[in-house]
Each structure stands twice: as structure tokens, then as C-alpha cells.
Amino acid sequence: MNLFDVYSLFDVTPVKALGCKVWDDKGQEYLDLYGGHAVISIGHSHPEYIAAVTAQLGRIGFYSNSVKNPLQAELAEKIGRVTGYEDYSLFLDNSGAESNENAVKLASFHTGKDRVIAFHKSFHGRTSGAVALTDNPAIVSPFNANHKVAFCDLNDAGGVEAELSKGDVAAVIIEGIQGCGGINLPSDAFLRDLEALCKCYGAVLILDEIQSGYGRTGKFFAHQWAGIRPDIITMAKGIANGFPCGGILISPKFEPVKGMLGTTFGGNYLAMAAANATIDIIEKEGLVENARKVGAYLKENIPASPRIKEVRGRGLMLGIEFNEDVAPIRKALLYDKHIFTGVAGKTMVRLLAPLCLSMEEAGRFISALKEIL
Ligand SMILES: Cc1ncc(COP(=O)(O)O)c(C=O)c1O
């Protein structure tokens, strides 16, 4: 049997990883500035993370959500304390798309409405509602396209208000920083406008922090740069450093009703062991501050070049927008300089390094890029 051929693959087979380094099956070492698509937060193969997941596997690997699992409450307590959202509740699921599905479902239950506002260049996942909220017609099937969604321009509060004023909007969903759409930042003022508009029109404000959250931008959540408190915050990727896990933070204004949300695997023992170890390590090693410091250094030191149009982003969520197709640049970085990077569209190199990236490793990337340019 063949694999269903939907991914474009680089000719690299990783077999081992540690910190920000990855080795392939031929023993070649790579510097990882992509973190497996913003998933590796604490670094690869952290010894305390391995010990926690391994020990948990030896105790109990799985049961269902019909019994008490203190590891879930432990994670809720930690996320509440670290983020300042102690008064919110946590619902645990398995992925980013599922978190957004749950957020929108909750907003629709709460308001009794069914239309959602999303933004041009958004990416919210590939399941039915999440992909309908994604501004990429190529990945939206006719089945997905039946959801009621309006796309507004980022940073255009007037456009959002025009849609909200129609009175049928359950939620506005926005990424803390747009990732796949090309590292586009909502301005702090725009996020504050959205918060006020959603309150005024009785819509739920959902912050998708799946890529931009968990310390990546140098605050725990990217929206915290704007000082707002959304109604629902969605998380995944960095939450368990590669063990599949997602979750949503829910404001106290939502009443839980038995059975309104649910999942078989969400909050399972292994994911919880991984997520608890991840947040402990983020705190203990000061990785949010490290992301801010090393990200600022990277951003300031990207070489000036007529080939580069702009560098955008915050912390370790950075996009280098070129005036040309970046495919040859990424190939040179990977095969000649042995550095993993990401992409957004055809002209942006996207950097989503593990949050433990050192200054020396950041410097290695800067030197490599200078040589290529
Ligand atoms: C902002 C954002 N939301 C949602 C998702 C979907 O997450 P997942 O692939 O875990 O379903 C992604 C994935 O890249 C993302 O970047």
C-alpha cells in the first residue's frame, strides 16, 4: 500500500533530535529553525520530558473521560497561573483544528447564532468548520463551504462592525499573528477594537493562539501584547512538544452543559504527562523570555539585502519576505547549510524555532543567510 500522496517532501529522514538539532539517517546534523511547524517548544528530546512521558506510560497509558484524571486539573492549574487566566476553564482535545471547532461550537451554542467572521489570509485548520474559516479556497471542499463565514480585512475595524451589525454573528476568530498566511500582525489597537466591538454586539471573540501562543512571541499568548482578554483562546502545537494535544481556555461567562463538548482521546494520560512537563520546563527555563530575547536578536540581525523586502513578526515567530521565490533559498539553507526553515506562500521564509534557541544558534543562521545572499 502507498501513502496518500498529499505532502511535498524534502529528501531528509530525521532519526534523532536534541534541543534545536536534528540528525538524519546518514548522520548529518541540522539546525532546526522550524520546530516541526511551531510544535517543538522546549526543544527536542528534553530529558525531563522523556522521563515524565516514559514514567506515565509505565503507570497507565489510557482510560476515558468518564473517570477522574488529576493530570488534567494539574495542567489547568498551571496554565491558569502562568497565563493569568485563572478564572477561565480548560477543555482538552487533540489538535489545533479540533480546538477551533470546539471554540466556534461553544460560541454558537452560547449565542444561538451561526455566522462567523474570519480574516483574509487566515488559517484555522482543515476540519469542516476550521477549514471554512480558512481563507484558502484550494483546500475548502463544497461540503466545507456550506458554513456561514464572512472574511474581513485584517486591521479594518469598520469592516468588522459592518458585519457584526447585521446581528447574526456568533463569533469573530482571529490568529494572534497570522502564521500560514504570511506573518501578518493584527495591530494592538485593532485587537482592542475587536474586543470592544464583540462586547457591544454580543459576539464571542476567539483568539487562535495555536501557532502564536505558548510563549512563541515572547509573551505567553500573542494577544497579551495588546492587553486584551478574549472570550475563548485556542491552543495546540507547542502545548505538549509534539505529543498530539490541544485545548481551549473558556471565559467564566460560558456555562458548561454535560455532553456539549467531548472527545475520546482529549486530555489522555500521556498527553497530560507531556503537557505538564512542557509547561514546567517553559517556566523553569524562562523560555518565553528566551523567545523574546533571541527572536529580537534574530530580527535585528537579518542582513539588509535588496533581495529582502521586509522582516515581520515577534519573538520566535518571524517571516522574512523576499522579492523573489524563496524555494532555492530554502533548498540552499537545507542542503548546503543544513538548516530547517519554514515557508509562507512563495516569497516568505518562516522561522518557528524551538523556544530554547540560543544566541549562538541564531548567529549561525544569520551567517548562513548572509553567505547565501
Ligand atoms: C493558526 C493555526 N490554527 C490552526 C491550525 C491547525 O492545527 P492542526 O494542524 O493541529 O489541526 C494551525 C496549523 O498550522 C495554525 O497555524
Q: How confident is the model over 8-58, as pLDDT tens digits?
A: 999 999 999 999 999 999 999 999 999 999 999 999 999 999 999 999 999
- Reported as a pLDDT band with limits 50, 70 and 90, residue 285 is very high
- How far lies 267's CA from each of 143, 248, 260, in Å? 29, 12, 16
* C-alpha grid cell, residue 214: 505558548
Mutate which of 237, 241, 248, 265 for ligand 1 pocket (most atoms within 8 A of beta carbon): 237
Which of 29, 21, 31, 25 has the alpha carbon at shortest distance from 11? 25
DSSP assignment letter at 315: T
Q: Percent helix, strand, coil in the chain (nearest 5)?
A: 40, 20, 40
Residue whose CA is at the smallest distance from ligand 1 atom 3: 124
Residues linked to residue 29 through DSSP beta bridges, in sequence order: 23
Average pLDDT over residues 49-69: 98
The residues near 132 (Cβ < 8 Å, ≥ 6 apart) are 140, 144, 145, 146, 147, 149
- Residue 294 is predicted with a pLDDT of 98
User: At which residue does the C-alpha cell 529582502 appear?
Assistant: 308
- Reported as a pLDDT band with limits 50, 70 and 90, residue 192 is very high
- Reported as a pLDDT band with limits 50, 70 and 90, residue 115 is very high
Q: Alpha-carbon torsion 213, 289, 322, 325, what sign?
A: negative
Number of Cβ within a 10 Å radius of residue 101: 24
- Ligand 1 centroid distance, CA of 124 (Å): 6
- Ligand 1 centroid distance, CA of 98 (Å): 9
- Ligand 1 centroid distance, CA of 306 (Å): 32
Mutate which of 100, 123, 248 for ligand 1 pocket (most atoms within 8 A of beta carbon): 123
- Ligand 1 centroid distance, CA of 146 (Å): 21
Q: Using an 8 Å Cβ cutoff, are 373 and 67 in contact?
A: no
Any idea how long the chain is? 373
Residues linked to residue 211 through DSSP beta bridges, in sequence order: none
- Reported as a pLDDT band with limits 50, 70 and 90, residue 331 is very high
Average pLDDT over residues 192-218: 98
- Reported as a pLDDT band with limits 50, 70 and 90, residue 194 is very high
175 lines ligand 1 (CB under 6 A): yes
Q: Using an 8 Å Cβ cutoff, are 46 and 281 in contact?
A: yes
208 lines ligand 1 (CB under 6 A): yes
- Reported as a pLDDT band with limits 50, 70 and 90, residue 316 is very high
Average pLDDT over residues 249-270: 98
CA distance 233 to 210: 9
119 lines ligand 1 (CB under 6 A): no
- How far lies 366's CA from each of 285, 313, 359, in Å? 24, 16, 10
CA distance 334 to 321: 18
344 lines ligand 1 (CB under 6 A): no
CA distance 51 to 316: 27
Residue whose CA is at the smallest distance from ligand 1 atom 4: 124
Q: Using an 8 Å Cβ cutoff, are 89 and 249 in contact?
A: yes
Q: Using an 8 Å Cβ cutoff, are 279 and 42 in contact?
A: no
- Reported as a pLDDT band with limits 50, 70 and 90, residue 267 is very high
Per cent of the chain over pLDDT 70 is 100
The arrangement of strands across the sheet holding 21-24 comes to 14-18, 21-24, 29-32, 339-340
- Ligand 1 centroid distance, CA of 234 (Å): 10
- Residue 253 is predicted with a pLDDT of 97
CA distance 296 to 280: 24
Average pLDDT over residues 329-345: 98
Q: Using an 8 Å Cβ cutoff, are 49 and 42 in contact?
A: yes
Residue whose CA is at the smallest distance from ligand 1 atom 10: 96
CA distance 215 to 114: 32
CA distance 212 to 313: 10
- Reported as a pLDDT band with limits 50, 70 and 90, residue 207 is very high
Q: Using an 8 Å Cβ cutoff, are 334 and 12 in contact?
A: yes
Burial class (CB in 10 A: 0-12, 13-18, 19+), 364: middle
123 lines ligand 1 (CB under 6 A): yes
294 lines ligand 1 (CB under 6 A): no
97 lines ligand 1 (CB under 6 A): yes
The ligand 1 atom nearest the CA atom of 236: 10
- Ligand 1 centroid distance, CA of 59 (Å): 31
Which of 195, 225, 224, 221 has the alpha carbon at shortest distance from 210? 221
96 lines ligand 1 (CB under 6 A): yes
Q: Helix 157-164 and helix 188-201: axis angle, to 10°?
A: 10
Q: Using an 8 Å Cβ cutoff, are 111 and 119 in contact?
A: no
- Reported as a pLDDT band with limits 50, 70 and 90, residue 78 is very high
Mutate which of 124, 133, 134, 223 for ligand 1 pocket (most atoms within 8 A of beta carbon): 124
- Residue 304 is predicted with a pLDDT of 94
3-state secondary structure 188-203: HHHHHHHHHHHHHHCC
Phi, psi (5° rounding) for residue 17? -155, 150
To the nearest whole number, what is the mean pLDDT of the chain? 98
Structural domains of the chain, ranges and CATH numbers in brackets: 14-46+286-372 (3.90.1150.10), 48-284 (3.40.640.10)
215 lines ligand 1 (CB under 6 A): no
249 lines ligand 1 (CB under 6 A): no
